[in-house]
Amino acid sequence: MRKHGELAATVECEVSFHDVDMVEIVWHGHYLRYLENARWALMKEIDFGLEAMRASGYGWPIVDLHIKYIRAARFGDRLSVRASLAEWENRLTVNYLVTDLASRERVVRAQTQQVAVELPSGVLQFVSPAVLIEKVTAALAGRSKAFGANE
């Protein structure tokens, strides 16, 4: 769950009042929204946002989620949520790390797995469709070119 891929996106958020319980710590279920926001930022990084996903003819339901709560975030904390692509050939595996921006302490580690489902038939795909592989390959190539240009 700790492996970070080359393709990643980070979003920041502030813990809002509506995210906390009576003792002003984040209710565990709200972390999923933070992860989701980072995952969509990652999908945009590889040019596979919602519109591209719909146009591809495939849906990508989450079929597995693992989350490790390390320490509680509190009302007003500023968090960094990093999503990185760890696997894409047979399924989408995204690893996450949530850290407190002030202390740099880890708050949550997580992983989601998604599989391609052909729309509208609902048929599960056992390998990722070519459209996703092409998007990831292009994003990796673009990253390599950008990295090479900075040296």
Class assignment of domain 8-149? alpha beta
Q: How far apart are CA 84 and CA 123, in angstroms?
A: 27
With a pLDDT cut of 70, the percent of the chain lying above it is 93
What is the reported pTM? 0.90
Extended strands (E) in the chain: 8-14, 58-59, 62-69, 78-87, 92-100, 106-114, 117-118
pLDDT tens-digit profile of 87-145?
A: 999 999 999 999 999 999 999 999 999 999 999 899 999 999 999 999 999 999 987 66
- Alpha-carbon Rg for the chain, nearest whole angstrom, is 17
SS3 132: helix
The pair of structure tokens assigned to 69 is 């709560």
pLDDT tens-digit profile of 66-78?
A: 999 999 999 999 9
With a pLDDT cut of 90, the percent of the chain lying above it is 88
Whole-number pLDDT of residue 133: 95
